[in-house]
Structure 1
Amino acid sequence: MKIFLTAINAKYIHSNLAVYSLRAYAKDYQDQIVIGEYTINNRVDYILEQIYKAKPDVLCFSCYIWNMDYVEELITEYHKLCPEVPIWVGGPEVSYEVETFLAEHPQVTGVMIGEGERTFQQLCKYYVNQTGSLEEIRGIAFRDQDSGKTVFTPAQEPMNMSDIPFCYDHIENFENRIIYYESSRGCPFNCSYCLSSIDKKLRFRDIELVKKELAFFIEKKVPQVKFVDRTFNCRHDHAMEIWRFVKEHDNGITNFHFEISADLLNEEELALIHDMRPGLIQLEIGVQSTNEITIREIHRTMKLELLKDIVRKIQGGENIHEHLDLIAGLPYEDYATFAKSFDEIYALKPNQLQLGFLKVLKGSYMYEHAAEYETVYHAKTPYEVMKTKWLSFDDVLKIKQVEEMLEVYYNSGQFEITMKVMEPLFDSAFAMFQELGVFYEEKGYFGMSHSRIRRAEILLEFMREQKSEDAVLQMLEESLTFDLYYRENCKSRPFWAPSPAEFKEQTRYYCKNGVKSHVEPFHYRFPEKSKKALNEIPTRLKQPVYMLFDYEKRDPLDHQAHVTEVAAASMTEGAENVGKAKLC
């Protein structure tokens, strides 16, 4: 007997915690369970071929919005080849409107609804031992063979988190991939766009068990462990125990990612995370909107001014990489109020500002009230909003331009200095990204693959069309040069940069380790990293300053080169004039 668990991930670096958790819980049948992991970048024909060659006796699919189209096609085509093989599906994408799903997919034997560990174990027992009946298995729906009607069995009781076995014993199978880890399930909040709000029974894994498992990741020097807990810090003592443990056992390599509610952080927690190694943890903070009416309507619990204050305090430690999230398409938020939300959160200067679009998920409050909100969304996954009562499709398309420009020029971290220099030249940050997006559209630059240096050239082209003064353009040329070398020692030099022959003596003196460092002259002193925004535009210097980019010393949060200002004096004057370093 072979039971084949199929996972189709969004990227290779991702892993599917669900299928490994299912197999671990069904430990009595592990010899009969095989996991097949693929990505949406694999051709459907390739995945179909691999499943067929595996010769499963039972085929199972883990279903999410990012892979559902693949799953549906694979179900249809595989059933043509092997109609005798039972096909089971589970996951959030099939746990709602089950009867409709089974009617539309007659090839599917049944659906595992909700938490799957115990249900999958019972299915394995049913198929391996060939005893009992499907009616005895809780948490499933299947088609009655005689009547053709859908049979629903009683729901499973919520899992005791400590009863779920650790599923990463063979950590060597996850090399170069993100490890997903779960220390709690459920969420205390009622956010209307999120399925986690449905599970109100908040449960935690035994803290000593969690520590033991985290110690394993630390010992194995796993690069990143991403907690999937929906609001990690909703219980103070649980969060503190875990944060203390990772701090005390820090191996200097492993990074831990947490999704938190910033306005729940207290002073004790802030003091602890401020004392951590830079890069040890990173925090994802959902804001979604700053519009008070919207926040109330989506049932989100958030004190905005407190959240802003906490984010600033987090940043004050200069050791935490933080992401802030916004969602476009929420009720009562039009183009203007979304732009205001964007500018308020952008002003906090997070390491990343993630701009997403509302997904109208089956089973969510937003799905149930779609007609009331006049929400029009894609019929197929990921069910992304196209327009609402407050936001036209034209507005959505404009915000999508902002999203792409934000990703390219801000979230990438590749134009950090130039963004700070450009922002004061526009009415707002949102306006800057919007105008840049319109420029990309007019020039036909969307949908094309651009190198980093080409992105810089486009930015200069855009600013020239903005009729910027020559002095501003000169400053932007230098800031772009700074940004290009900030990230790496460029293989090709930007056309506007001075010839290296002009400062060959400085290069020869300072860059003794070859391509691992670079020296460059600038006529502006650009803002230090600790400064989130510019109060005034830098003034042009009469004599250039020389900046040394050291690629062997990188910032642990954004991996930019370590930069110091070095002496421009004659190299024959000796070391006493050298190394009067200033952090940039």
Structure 2
Amino acid sequence: MKFLLVAINAKYIHSNLAVYSLKAFAEKYGNNNNEIEIAEYTINQYSDDILRDIYKRKPDAVGFSCYIWNIGMVKEIVRDYKKICPNVDVWVGGPEVSYNVEQVLRENETIDYVMYGEGELTFKEVMDKYTFNGIGIDDLKDILGIGYRKSKSLEHQIFESETGILDCSKKQRIQIIINKPQQPVDMSDIPFVYKEMKDFENKIIYYETSRGCPFSCSYCLSSIDKRLRFRSLDLVKKELQFFIDNNTNQVKFVDRTFNCNKKHAMEIWSYIKKHDNGVTNFHFEIAADLMTEEEIALISDMRPGLIQLEIGVQSTNEKTLEAINRKTDIEKIAEITEKIHHGGNIHQHLDLIAGLPYENYESFKRSFDQVYAMKPDQFQLGFLKVLYGSMMKENSEKYGMAYSGRAPYEVLKTKWVSFDDILKLKEVEAVVEIYYNSFQFENTIRKLSELYESPFELYEQLGSFYQRHSENGEKHSRVKRYELLLNFIKKRNFEENIQWEELLTKDFYLRENAKSRPGFSKNIEKYKHQIREFFKGEEVRTILMDYEDYDSKQLEKMTHVEVFGINEDNLTYILFDYKHRNPLNKQAKLINITKQIKR
């Protein structure tokens, strides 16, 4: 008997830790000889292609891992799959079906069973019950953490209706059965799922050392589980060493608040610092206001790029924070992020959520400006998702919330923000992603934001301008985005004597040694001879490290030299070294070679 576990990920670089954990747990602890197979796809693939591949695998039962990004696609595939394989059991599990089990079964007749909550113990029990003859009603009643349908015969029952007598002698009543919840699994009992890293090449590796969350944020499903549990640190260290030995590019911890237990966090951070291989990056989601001086001192001495931190601020409005049950100290967050920023070695990713209770457009603007002042390396603007099972959904009517009926159930309006406000904030989100988070416009945006009292007003104006030049949904090229930013700046008629074209040129070459020169850049043809002579000279060998195997022509192609300045007597020559990039933003190393050029 073959059970196929299906994961439909948001991107190719993602992997699905859940299905690998189910498989590993059932194989280690199960009492069956059934085969468990995993199939991973992405939402960018055609549904027909996924359907074809599932069919060709010939499973006896198939289970889908369901999230807000894939639930629509899962339902579509399941409907078609049942048409061609009506006798194959279809299971679903995951956060998108765990909090509305009855609704899922009533509205989707092609879904046979739902696993809700944590899946490892439940899936093991399901596999233990399966035989080559499938699974029956009597097998289901004892499995914790599942929901299913049960048909009850209505023979010989007659009902009166407005239109007369209804004979139900040949009908059945469908009864939804939801068994009791499964017990929480011991985190140390879950087998380590990564055995052969070649199966995860070019993918982000997800790793889990704890479950549950000590906080009660009303919009978040993690707040439902208060049973905070940790994986044995002895196991964690062995598994971290596996990633380190394999030179894994990035390991993303999925622990909801990694530093809620100081001892746990300190041991893990100390271990990866001590065993740093110079390659692997570790990503953690933390509560900044819980950070201690001891923790800051430890991480501030790490290799640049060894770890990165994601910090959910969500709002700086005190009434909003109270309404969503976040006990957040905004001043402490600002203080901690500044200390971490001062170390210059850790990427910080800060989040805000639009559409929260008591946050109107002006309030969100203040939240934006306060978080922007914390100088995040990446600044994510999200929009509230009103999720099944969350307290926010229960209170949505109280807050006057309208939200999409389709996943991801994004807010459309509230008592405090209109749909017009949401649309304007969408424009802000788009240009923050393009012009701030991409690291491709860093110097230009920094200088530009200095000319605004409110950074939000800059992105508000830029978002409106960008939208007007993208009316047909046009996806602009990289060069076009630079040109649009320059046009935006010129229309503002700033009085300051700033060489915007030079700033944009510097930003343009910091991330990429572009083959084609942008039209806004200075013509440097007349300086080419001097630049070539520099690459032929001996000094270039002392300036460019690790390039000893390349000749002068190769050096010139692998790097870039830009000439800055208006006055011919006061030019500056800057060398862009792409082999030695900043590990936090991937920008080229800059070397001033003016003295070498002018000799």
Same fold (TM over 0.5): yes
In structure 2, the residue matched to 1:140 is 146
The answer to whether the Cα contact below 8 Å between 2:2 and 2:36 also exists between their aligned partners in 1 is: yes
- After superposition, the C-alpha distances for 1:257-276 in whole angstroms (9 at most, x for unaligned) are 00000011101111110111
In structure 2, the residue matched to 1:17 is 17
- Which residues of structure 1 form unaligned runs of 5+? 525-539, 574-584
Matches within 5 A, 1:244-323: 244-323=270-349
What TM-score do the two structures reach when normalised by structure 1?
Answer: 0.92
2:68 aligned partner, one-letter code: I
Question: Of 504, 513, 517, which aligns to 1:489?
Answer: 513
Distance in structure 2 (CA, Å) of the matches to 1:161 and 1:219: 23
1:517 aligned partner, one-letter code: T
Deviation at 1:544, TM superposition (A): 2.3
Distance in structure 1 (CA, Å) of the matches to 2:33 and 2:69: 27
In structure 2, the residue matched to 1:558 is 585
Moved more, 425-434 or 369-378: 425-434
Distance in structure 2 (CA, Å) of the matches to 1:138 and 1:185: 19
Distance in structure 2 (CA, Å) of the matches to 1:510 and 1:459: 33
- After superposition, the C-alpha distances for 1:540-573 in whole angstroms (9 at most, x for unaligned) are 99722221111111111111000122225764x3
In structure 1, the residue matched to 2:564 is 522
1:502 aligned partner, one-letter code: K
Deviation at 1:447, TM superposition (A): 2.2
Moved more, 283-292 or 456-465: 456-465
The root-mean-square deviation of aligned C-alpha atoms, in Å, is: 1.6
Distance in structure 2 (CA, Å) of the matches to 1:283 and 1:412: 17
In structure 1, the residue matched to 2:101 is 98
- After superposition, the C-alpha distances for 1:304-338 in whole angstroms (9 at most, x for unaligned) are 10110000011111110110000000000001110
Whether 1:33 aligns to 2:36 is yes
- In structure 2, relative to structure 1, the CA distance for the partners of 1:45 and 1:30 (3 Å cut) is farther
What TM-score do the two structures reach when normalised by structure 2?
Answer: 0.90
2:213 aligned partner, one-letter code: C
Distance in structure 1 (CA, Å) of the matches to 2:33 and 2:497: 69
1:170 aligned partner, one-letter code: E
Distance in structure 2 (CA, Å) of the matches to 1:140 and 1:22: 15
1:496 aligned partner, one-letter code: F
In structure 2, the residue matched to 1:167 is 193
- In structure 2, relative to structure 1, the CA distance for the partners of 1:563 and 1:292 (3 Å cut) is same
Distance in structure 1 (CA, Å) of the matches to 2:439 and 2:392: 34
Question: Of 370, 378, 390, which aligns to 2:396?
Answer: 370
1:253 aligned partner, one-letter code: V
Deviation at 1:222, TM superposition (A): 0.8
- In structure 2, relative to structure 1, the CA distance for the partners of 1:270 and 1:83 (3 Å cut) is same
Question: Matched residue of 2:405: which SS?
Answer: coil
In structure 2, the residue matched to 1:63 is 66
Question: Of 343, 359, 372, which aligns to 2:385?
Answer: 359
- Which residues of structure 2 form unaligned runs of 5+? 153-172, 536-551
Moved more, 431-440 or 330-339: 431-440
Distance in structure 1 (CA, Å) of the matches to 2:433 and 2:254: 23
Distance in structure 2 (CA, Å) of the matches to 1:542 and 1:123: 79
Distance in structure 1 (CA, Å) of the matches to 2:282 and 2:448: 33
Whether 1:406 aligns to 2:409 is no
The answer to whether the Cα contact below 8 Å between 1:187 and 1:202 also exists between their aligned partners in 2 is: yes
Moved more, 305-314 or 436-445: 436-445
- In structure 2, relative to structure 1, the CA distance for the partners of 1:518 and 1:152 (3 Å cut) is same
2:556 aligned partner, one-letter code: G
Question: Matched residue of 1:93: which SS?
Answer: helix
In structure 1, the residue matched to 2:540 is none
Instruction: Answer with 1 or 2: which has the greater Rg.
Output: 2
Distance in structure 2 (CA, Å) of the matches to 1:449 and 1:30: 51
In structure 2, the residue matched to 1:8 is 8
In structure 1, the residue matched to 2:158 is none
Matches within 5 A, 1:221-236: 221-236=247-262
Distance in structure 1 (CA, Å) of the matches to 2:221 and 2:76: 25
Moved more, 143-152 or 366-375: 143-152
Distance in structure 1 (CA, Å) of the matches to 2:227 and 2:597: 70
Deviation at 1:437, TM superposition (A): 1.1
- In structure 2, relative to structure 1, the CA distance for the partners of 1:504 and 1:182 (3 Å cut) is same
The answer to whether the Cα contact below 8 Å between 1:506 and 1:519 also exists between their aligned partners in 2 is: no
Question: Of 381, 385, 392, which aligns to 2:411?
Answer: 385
Q: How many residues align?
A: 555
The answer to whether the Cα contact below 8 Å between 1:255 and 1:279 also exists between their aligned partners in 2 is: yes
1:504 aligned partner, one-letter code: K
Distance in structure 1 (CA, Å) of the matches to 2:561 and 2:93: 56
Distance in structure 1 (CA, Å) of the matches to 2:92 and 2:83: 17
Distance in structure 2 (CA, Å) of the matches to 1:446 and 1:233: 45
Paired-residue identity, %:
54
The answer to whether the Cα contact below 8 Å between 1:523 and 1:542 also exists between their aligned partners in 2 is: no
1:125 aligned partner, one-letter code: D
